[in-house]
A and B are shown apart, each in its own frame.
Chain A
Amino acid sequence: MAPSPSDQGEVAATGGPAAALRPDAIKAIPVRHWGRWISAGVVTYLLVALIVSFVKNPNVQWNVVGQYLFSPITMRGLLLTLELTFIAMFIGAAGGVMLAVMRLSDNPVLSWIAWVYIWFFRGTPVYVQIIIWAYMGSLYYTLYLGLPFTGLVFGSAQSSRVIVTFVAALLALGLNEAAYAAELVRAGIISVEAGQSEAALSLGMSPALTMRRVVLPQAMRVIIPTMGNETISMLKTTSLIAVIGGLEMFGRLQQVYAQTFEIMPLLVVACIWYLFITSILTLGQARLEAYFGKGFGEKEAEAAEQRAVKRAARARHA
């Protein structure tokens, strides 16, 4: 705000010897970015041309797109896609944290187990792992719960009944994800300053408590963006389970166009849904980042004031 002449007079009168009159704000003609305007025009022109050509293309068969966009086939497939994505990511994230902590543990047995696990699951294609889990029944006809070499058996079940397609898909996607997540979490943990652990330990906190209360919450700031990436990637990786007859959204649409040859319109349907869900996931990621970024935000001063007001209100009620 530009001070009015009378303000300036006051400033000059009350300020010490260092206080000077504030000169007028600079008014200058900004640099003209002609290149930007021209390139923006060209890009817009090309983009509009591309969209119009696509939208007006009769071969896209927009009526078919509309017909399948909310059809029961698509919806049922979409439900499975979402179930697989979220449960597999849950297994992946939980397993990843566990493996990362094991890998960084002083205990050589735990560290070695985690290393071998990550080595195996990162070292083989997830596509192959999906098939292996689905055919586990051909390797082990029956699953036993008991102590090996003792003949002690608490229960048993036929593999093909336990590892149905859904379970095989979940195991394959979840366990594979855990290996990748483990490395992400480990990177996050390493990024937290050593001084943080030392401060927690010097307060008498145990190593486990230090990890849970001090290190992991800070590591989350680094982990969340990459985990968001992994979730979006998982959303699309679920389409691989078509190989074992798992009919998530893309598998179902594939089945349809194999018979009707409406390939393009159904691919458009699939893309619309993948883009829609990815957009929602991106929003969710932003909220998680905000939550775990507390203490690092730019609007912290205001937030602190609000918390202080709440505290005062609580004190009045108490």
Chain B
Amino acid sequence: MPSTSHIVTAVDGGESSGRPMVKAEKVWKSFGKLDVLKGVDLEVMPQQTYVLLGPSGGGKSTLLRCINHLEKINSGRLWVAGELMGYRQKGAVLHEMKARDVAKQRSHVGMVFQRFNLFPHMTAIENVMEAPIRVQHVPRKQADTEAEEILRRVGLGEKLDTYPGQLSGGQQQRVAIARALAMKPKLMLFDEPTSALDPELVGEVLDVMKQLAVDGMTMVVVTHEIGFAKEVADGVALMDGGVIVENGPPGEVLVNPKEDRTKVFLSKVLA
């Protein structure tokens, strides 16, 4: 692909290439008495695209939300780019981080939601500029130029001054991706980014995500799009009942699954 079609360039691949971008170790998460994650181990290396598959309620979205500390985990450890998320370890003691420090960590992790969650009172470009200006204190003019550039790259150069309410679902989701990318994140999390879209709009969002994968962005993607996983994923994990049932390269997990649970799931999804 020609270099002009890059969406991101100079992706921060992590200083030492041997260190995982995301590392989860025996992560448990419960809501009240309900255990949603029951000891999840996961490693995502820099520049990898990792796809989480599985039935609803299996814990995929919760794991994603734990990675950027929107949810606090109850046990285990979770690192992003070598940093413990939400906590500071001093010797053997864990200290909860202040909201300001958590915010700082989150600013390096982009997230894209199923329901887009664009700010409806801001135009497309204002949505993209908001966090760089307010969080990273980028000068307004520079933020404007950069936001315009990113929106162009996701194919929305004509929609800069449009409010989300006037955009199609696919366009809104591309603005949401641009908004996350504007913070120059080390890692992008996608929570069922195409599930709320009309079938004919799914492609335009997946195309942007595929290009991001090619550009070397590290991504963790919760999706039901098996085709996307086959085409671009470096790793696939099937989650059910709060655990990772099976994981590995897509060529193995999706083509020759070892676990019966994976076979059943795939047969239903591909049917």
A interface vs B, CB < 8 Å?
193, 195-196, 198-207, 209, 213-214, 217-218, 292, 294-296, 300-301, 304, 307-308, 311
Contacts and interface: CB of A to CB of B under 8 A. Distances in A.
A295 to B, nearest CB: 4
A107 to B, nearest CB: 11
B135 A205 contact: yes
Interface in B95-143: 99-100, 103-111, 113, 115, 117-123, 130-131, 134-135
B162 A304 contact: yes
A304 B120 contact: no
A199 B162 CA distance: 19
User: Which among B119, B135, B165 has the highest number of chain A CB atoms within 10 Å?
Assistant: B119
Max chain B Cβ within 10 angstroms of own Cβ: one of A205, A295, A304: A295
The 7 closest A-B pairs by CB, nearest first: A204-B107, A307-B161, A199-B117, A203-B131, A295-B163, A202-B111, A195-B117
B143 to A, nearest CB: 13
Contacts of B115: 195
9 contacts: A199-B118, A200-B131, A205-B131, A206-B99, A295-B123, A296-B163, A300-B162, A304-B166, A308-B160
Contacts of A304: 123, 161-163, 166
A199 B115 CA distance: 10
B68 interface: yes
A206 B163 contact: no
Interface in B160-201: 160-166, 176, 179-180, 183
B70 interface: yes
A72 B117 CA distance: 56
Residue picked from B104, B108, B130, most chain A C-beta under 10 Å: B130
Contact of B135 (A196, A203, A307): A203
B161 A218 contact: no
A203 B106 contact: yes
A296 B135 CA distance: 26
Interface in B190-242: none
A4 to B, nearest CB: 33
Contacts of B121: 217-218, 292, 294-295
Contacts of A201: 70, 103, 106
A202 B120 contact: no
Contacts of B68: 202
B120 A300 contact: no
Interface string B15-28: 00000000000000
Contacts of A296: 120, 163, 165
A311 B160 contact: yes
B118 to A, nearest CB: 7
A201 B131 CA distance: 10
B165 A300 contact: yes
A209 B135 CA distance: 9
A204 B103 contact: yes
Contacts of B135: 203-205, 209
B109 A202 contact: yes
Contacts of A214: 119
A193 B163 CA distance: 17
A296 B122 CA distance: 10
A153 B22 CA distance: 58
A203 B166 contact: no
A17 B58 CA distance: 49
A203 B109 CA distance: 8
B138 to A, nearest CB: 12
A196 B119 contact: yes
Nearest to A195: B117
Contacts of B179: 203
Contacts of B180: 202-203
Contacts of B70: 198, 201-202
Contacts of A205: 103, 130-131, 134-135
Contacts of B104: 204
A311 B120 contact: no
B31 to A, nearest CB: 15
Contacts of B110: 202-203
A317 to B, nearest CB: 13
A198 B121 CA distance: 16
A213 B134 contact: yes
Given A203-B180, A206-B100, 6 more contacts: A200-B131, A207-B99, A292-B121, A295-B120, A300-B162, A307-B123
Contacts of B109: 202
A295 B106 contact: no
A49 B105 CA distance: 73
B106 A202 contact: yes
A90 B130 CA distance: 28
Contacts of A207: 99
B100 A295 contact: no
